[in-house]
Amino acid sequence: MKTVSGISPALGKLFDRLKERGVFVGGNPEHGFKFPKPKAIGSDHVRRATPGPHLIRDEKYWLPILALYHGNRLEEFAQLRIEGLKGS
């Protein structure tokens, strides 16, 4: 989001210039655009960091383990589907 919000004003200026030159017709799509507020990540982090009886076995649990025992990159594992892991 930081990168996109940094590029957004430049993109708006580009559309303004194109409109001045008559290359672009219509309203500037960047004007009035609001970026979504980032989600708070604190609740997930607190839940994981707090000792308790529950072991959370989601992607944040399995991806590092898979990466440790296999040569794939984390991005490759993140694209896997459960059906592909069952050996169908």
Structural domain boundaries enclosing 12: 1-38
Within this chain, do residues 34 and 69 fall inside the same structural domain, yes or no?
Answer: no
23: left (phi over 0), alpha (psi -120 to 50) or beta: alpha
Q: What is the pLDDT of residue 17?
A: 92
Within this chain, do residues 82 and 45 fall inside the same structural domain, yes or no?
Answer: yes
Rounded Cα–Cα distance for residues 82 and 23 (Å): 48
Domain total of the chain:
2
Within this chain, do residues 45 and 58 fall inside the same structural domain, yes or no?
Answer: yes
Within this chain, do residues 58 and 34 fall inside the same structural domain, yes or no?
Answer: no
3-state SS string for the chain? CHHHHHHHHHHHHHHHHHHHCCCCCCCCCCCCCCCCCCCCCHHHHHHHHCCCCCCCCCHHHHHHHHHHHCCCCHHHHHCCCHHHHCCC
Within this chain, do residues 60 and 78 fall inside the same structural domain, yes or no?
Answer: yes
| pLDDT tens per residue, range 8-62 | 888 889 989 999 999 988 888 887 777 777 666 555 555 666 777 877 777 777 7
